[in-house]
Each structure stands twice: as structure tokens, then as C-alpha cells.
């Protein structure tokens, strides 16, 4: 079983697959550097309510190997799917090495990409999205660097929690 994407959907799918078949070879290919983290905690680390960054990291490739015998590969991007041959083309981001991984079952859990409308200024270095640990680290660095005001676009749970966390840090939101 090859699972494209980690975090909530991919890691949960891999764990369920393991419970259903103790003998299956299960490979999780995650483009990012973290396979499992507390998404909803990201604003709270930026705001300071969650002090330890590592407390947001729920599982690692090593812990998933030890507990569920999963082959989790972070920093691996799936480039193509060949359904007829039952293979995916993969690139290891750190080295650039390309290889193919075969599968009997393929599960797609790639997550989402934030909408960045084609507007003037959209590439400004102080315009951020908050989807993962790397995004959180970038925002926290700016906040820790003395940011005094912020505009939060998006009123879902993460947006509201981000506005609350920034306000708690004394930032005008």
C-alpha cells in the first residue's frame, strides 16, 4: 500500500491499514518534513500558549516504524502516477534522487494548498499562510522579531485562533 501524503489523513489511513492487515507493506510518502503534527496548535505556539514547539510533533517516521511498522518517507514528492503499471514516480527532495515505487493499493491524501489569488503584492515577504510547521516557524520568527500589527484573512477556526494568539502577544489585529 502506498499512501501519498502524511499528516492527518495519510497517517490515519496508514494506521487503519495496519490494523486491517498486520502483514501489509505500507509506505507513506510525505513531501514535507513532518508526517504528523497538531494543526490546531500552530497558532497557539505562535501566541505562546504552547511553549514547546516539539509538543506539536505527534509522530515521527521513527515512532511510526516502531509502533506500526510503517515505512514513512518525509521529503519525498510524488511526481506522477502510472495506474496501468501500478507505480508512482517519486523524487527525494534533499538529494534530487528519482525512483519508482510500485503498489497494489494507492491512497491519495495530498492535503490542500492555500489559495493565493493573483493580486498585486501577493508575493510580499511578510505575507504568510499557516498550513504546517514551516509556515508556523516563519510567522513566529516575524512575531518574535517585534511585529506590532497583523491582518488575518480567513475566519475559520485557524484564522480565529491566529487572531486570538496574536492579540495575546500584544499585536494589533
List Cβ neighbours of 38 (8 Å cut-off, separation of 6 or more). 55, 56, 58
Q: Do residues 167 and 152 make contact, with C-beta atoms less than 8 angstroms apart?
A: no
Find the catalytic residue in 21, 40, 79, 97.
40
The DSSP output letter for 32 is: S
Q: Phi first, then psi: give them for residue 139, nearest 5 degrees.
A: -65, -45
User: Edge-to-edge strands of the sheet including 98-102?
Assistant: 76-82, 87-92, 98-102
- Grid cell, residue 21, equals 492487515
| Cβ atoms of residues 110 and 6 within 8 Å | no
109 flagged as catalytic: no
For the stretch 9-19, what's the b/e string if a residue is b when 16 or more beta carbons lie within 10 angstroms of its beta carbon? Answer: ebbebbbebbe
User: Which residues form the catalytic set?
Assistant: 40
Amino acid at each position: 500500500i502506498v499512501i501519498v501524503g502524511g499528516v492527518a489523513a495519510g497517517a490515519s489511513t496508514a494506521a487503519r491499514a495496519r490494523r486491517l492487515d498486520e502483514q501489509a507493506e505500507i509506505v507513506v510518502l510525505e513531501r514535507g518534513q513532518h508526517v504528523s503534527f497538531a494543526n490546531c496548535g500552530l497558532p497557539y505556539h505562535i501566541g505562546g500558549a504552547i511553549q514547546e514547539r516539539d509538543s506539536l510533533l505527534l509522530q515521527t517516521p521513527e515512532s511510526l516504524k516502531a509502533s506500526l511498522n510503517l515505512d514513512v518517507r518525509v521529503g519525498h514528492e510524488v511526481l506522477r502516477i502510472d495506474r496501468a503499471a501500478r507505480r508512482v514516480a517519486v523524487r527525494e527532495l534533499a538529494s534530487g534522487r528519482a525512483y519508482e515505487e510500485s503498489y497494489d493499493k494507492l491512497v491519495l491524501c495530498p492535503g490542500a494548498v492555500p489559495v493565493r489569488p493573483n493580486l498585486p503584492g501577493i508575493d510580499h515577504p511578510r505575507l504568510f499562510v499557516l498550513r504546517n510547521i514551516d509556515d508556523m516557524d516563519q510567522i513566529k520568527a516575524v512575531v518574535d522579531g517585534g511585529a506590532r500589527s497583523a491582518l488575518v484573512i480567513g475566519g475559520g477556526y485557524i484564522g480565529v485562533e491566529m487572531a486570538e494568539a496574536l492579540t495575546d502577544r500584544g499585536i494589533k489585529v
